Amino acid sequence: MDNKKRYFPNLNGIRAIAATLVVFHHLEQAKHALGIANIYDVPIIQHAGRLGVGLFFVLSGFLITYLLLEERGRFGDVDTKKFYLRRVFRIWPVYFIIIGLSFFVFPHIPIFDYPGVEEKLTVNLPERLTLLLLVLPNFAFVLYDLPYWCAQTWSIGVEEQFYYLWPWLIKYPKKRVPIFLFFLLLTAGLLYLGLEMVDPSEETRKSMITTFLGQFRIQTMALGGLCAWLVYHGKAKFLNFIFRKDVQIVAYVMLLALFFSGVHFFGFLEVYALFFAFFVLNVSCNPNTIVHLGHPVMDHLGKISYGLYIYHVAVIVVIINLFETYAPGWRDMSYQAILYVLSFVGSVAVATFSFNYIEKPLLAYKDRKFGR
């Protein structure tokens, strides 16, 4: 295996698509909750958020696994301490910013008002905050729910928990079964403990477990990891087949048909994950890909995609409330169009500011201090 670091093109374009799907989903969701004309009930919109997150998960699994395999190949080992410090400097600052704002700033500014947040800021507040400070937002979401401004952080928790497992599997491949069992037991134990503290009715308990398992898509990230393994080890027979132009056309036609049909069936997220894995492999590793995502706008949206994902909900709420305050009753098509444009442009502006002045300096620091 070549020991030089590998660069994958088009990854920012994938991130841009994933973030955009989530923004559209939450904009329609917010309009639905506020009684504004919306298309939230359209299946495509309903699923767009989960599919955007699913695409993020596959990409994350792919990239993290490749980097870990590459590190083990170059140095003969995985430095887990440096790995976790890199993740902390990448994920935690923006995560804690939105948590802090959601609990201590937004509630005191009328323009951020959103129905139903009052209860989530007062009832079981210590429990909510403890789980969030432990970077277990998916547990907080399932057990106590979260204020709307930071509810999207549940997926950050799932990603973090994947990171708690994955480097150890690559560092100690011969011990992968006990490592995986320990991880599952720890996760199940935490959920059990949380449910015992909440002590919900039997029906609510079942619903909470179903929601948790529906969000805990480690298998989606593992699929991305499998793709990285195929690329790293140069599994040419398989890759050459999925890189064929006719196979790409058939796969993308099937993906678009499935997406626009809005069909929902048991395990549909896993089926989409297979398509996303195919998509990630082709656009990042296939020199003959029929989809190119290298446009400067896509590249920028991909670079700021983490901030875009984290901040966009608060921006959407502000834009809607501004319209309600200064143009009450305005509801025609121009309202809908301008709402979309301002929500997206505003989210991009906030995310760009965050990237330039918060994330970028921290990224440079973590690469300098903890890179390998």
Interval 102-125 mean pLDDT: 95
pLDDT value of position 4: 63
**What does R_g of the chain's alpha carbons equal in angstroms?**
21
Q: How far apart are the first and last CA of the chain?
A: 17
How many Å apart are CA 334 and CA 268, to the nearest integer? 35
Listed residue (56, 52, 82) closest to 68, CA to CA: 82
Q: Please tell me which residue, 266 or 27, carries the higher pLDDT value.
A: 27
* Residue-wise pLDDT tens digits, 155-182: 999 999 999 999 999 999 999 999 999 9
CA distance 51 to 18: 8
pLDDT digit string (tens) for 274-328?
Answer: 999 999 999 999 999 999 999 999 999 999 999 999 999 999 999 999 999 999 9
- Short-list 49, 41, 38, 42, CA closest to 214: 49
Confidence category of residue 372, pLDDT binned at 50, 70, 90: confident
Question: Rounded to an integer, what distance in angstroms lies between the CA atom of residue 106 and that of residue 100?
Answer: 9
Reduce the secondary structure of the chain to three states and give it as a string.
Answer: CCCCCCCCCCHHHHHHHHHHHHHHHHHHHHHHHCCCCCCCCCHHHHHHHHHHHHHHHHHHHHHHHHHHHHHHHHHCCCCHHHHHHHHHHHHHHHHHHHHHHHHHCHHHCHHHCCCCHHHHHHCCHHHHHHHHHCCCHHHHHHHHCCCHHHHHHHHHHHHHHHHHHHHHHHHCHHHHHHHHHHHHHHHHHHHHHHHHHHCCCHHHHHHHHHHHHHHCCHHHHHHHHHHHHHHHCCCHHHHHHHCCHHHHHHHHHHHHHHHHHCCCCCCHHHHHHHHHHHHHHHHHHCCCCCCCCCCHHHHHHHHCHHHHHHHHHHHHHHHHHHHHHHCCCCCCHHHHHHHHHHHHHHHHHHHHHHHHHHHHHHHHHHHHHHCC
d(CA 255, CA 332): 33
d(CA 161, CA 153): 13
Average pLDDT over residues 239-261: 96
Given a cut of 90, whether residue 212 has pLDDT beyond it is: yes
pLDDT above 70 as % of the chain: 99
pLDDT at 1: 45
- pLDDT classification of 3: cutoffs 50, 70, 90: low
State pLDDT tens for residues 224-244. 999 999 999 999 999 999 999
The whole-model pTM stands at: 0.96
Look over the chain and give the mean of its residue pLDDT values, rounded to a whole number: 95
Go through the chain and tell me how many residues it has.
372
Provide the pLDDT for residue 6.
85
Task: Please give the Cα distance from 240 to 264 (Å, whole number).
Answer: 31
